[in-house]
């Protein structure tokens, strides 16, 4: 199976790199600058189990179809990627986005059609270091995927085999939309808390009023998902509440990007959930405050 990974940052670099390491036919679609860096240093992955260096196949343009396309870019880069992906999507191509939030599903479906776009999510604590190398910061490395349709899809077994036994946890789901919502709620809650309060979950819980704040914000995001028809399942709800009650220095990628002065995925993660709350008349004062703060950050950054 020919696999195209759009993006070779922390997410695309990790999962695409592990697939290549496992012998899969993987090509990375990257920008010229990233292509030059990978040609110079290779694709390096540092994880709790050691370091891996690969020589990846990279392209900056696509000239033909692939069997599977994994999209691993930030939400604000999606439009540019869609414009480049047209030739990659053939009659039987499966497109699996690993983006945060839900807005990208309609965008991709509009571009490539519902028969091509599946749901997907990943869970990994990863980043790029100053050299552009992938750093996996914990043992968590999970990829979940599946078609949105309820009927049989004869491509599922092939995709499952292609993504399996590759050095990370991988599974197909017949409830992928619900699982994507659960991740969205998790990211919006952690991201909203850490960016608004400018600290880790543990630091917030150690501050006066911090535990009450975290519980209230959690209640807001769960209420939105429930009103939208995707209440978190008991296991996901327990994990969310335990995470928000933790004394550990847990942060979010959005918080780390904000502290570093980088662009943030505020619209797709927080802003869209605030909009969803409005559609269902769910009051979300704390989440709205986080959205306001992030909007100020984005406007200030763009002005500079």
DSSP string, 49-118: TEEEEE--EEESS--S-EEEEEE-S-GGGHHHHHHHHGGGEEEEEEEEE--SSSHHHHHHHHHH-TTTB-
**Pair (135, 246) in one structural domain:** no
Which residues of the chain carry a pLDDT beneath 50? none
**Pair (168, 193) in one structural domain:** no
What is the extent of the structural domain holding 22?
2-174
In this prediction, residue 151 carries a pLDDT of: 84
Is-catalytic flag, 183?
yes
In this prediction, residue 150 carries a pLDDT of: 83
**Pair (161, 30) in one structural domain:** yes
**Pair (99, 227) in one structural domain:** no
Report field, pTM of the whole predicted structure over 0.85: yes
CATH number of residue 150's parent domain: 3.40.50.720
Q: Of 7, 112, 183, 214, which residue is the catalytic one?
A: 183
Q: Which 3 state secondary structure label does DSSP give 251? A: coil
Q: Which two tokens stand for residue 19?
A: 């697939």
In this prediction, residue 16 carries a pLDDT of: 99
């Amino acid at each position: 199976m020919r696999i195209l990974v759009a993006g070779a940052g922390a997410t695309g670099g990790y999962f695409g790199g592990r697939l290549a390491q496992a012998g899969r036919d993987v090509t990375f679609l990257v920008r010229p600058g990233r292509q030059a860096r990978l040609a110079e240093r290779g694709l390096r992955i540092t994880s709790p189990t050691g370091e891996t260096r690969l020589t990846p196949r990279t392209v900056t343009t696509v000239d033909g179809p692939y069997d599977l396309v994994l999209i691993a870019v930030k939400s604000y880069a999606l439009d540019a990627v869609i414009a480049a992906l047209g030739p990659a999507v053939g009659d039987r191509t499966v497109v699996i986005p690993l983006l945060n939030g839900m807005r990208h599903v309609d965008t991709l479906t509009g571009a490539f059609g519902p028969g091509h776009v599946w749901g997907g999510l990943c869970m990994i604590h990863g980043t790029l270091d100053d050299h552009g190398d992938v750093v996996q910061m914990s043992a968590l490395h999970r990829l979940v995927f599946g078609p949105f349709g309820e009927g049989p899809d004869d491509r599922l077994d092939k995709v499952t085999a292609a993504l399996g036994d590759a050095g990370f946890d991988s599974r197909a789901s017949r409830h992928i939309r619900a699982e994507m919502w659960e991740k969205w709620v998790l990211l919006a809650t952690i991201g909203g808390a850490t960016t608004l309060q400018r600290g880790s979950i543990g630091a917030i819980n150690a501050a006066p009023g911090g535990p009450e704040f975290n519980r209230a914000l959690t209640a807001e995001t769960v209420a939105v998902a429930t009103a939208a028809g995707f209440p978190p399942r008991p296991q996901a709800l327990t994990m969310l509440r335990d995470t928000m009650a933790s004394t550990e220095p847990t942060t979010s990628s959005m918080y780390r990007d904000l502290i570093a002065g980088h662009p943030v995925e505020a619209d797709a993660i927080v802003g869209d959930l605030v909009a969803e709350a409005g559609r269902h008349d769910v009051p979300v004062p704390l989440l709205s405050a986080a959205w306001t703060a992030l909007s100020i950050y984005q406007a200030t950054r763009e002005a500079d």
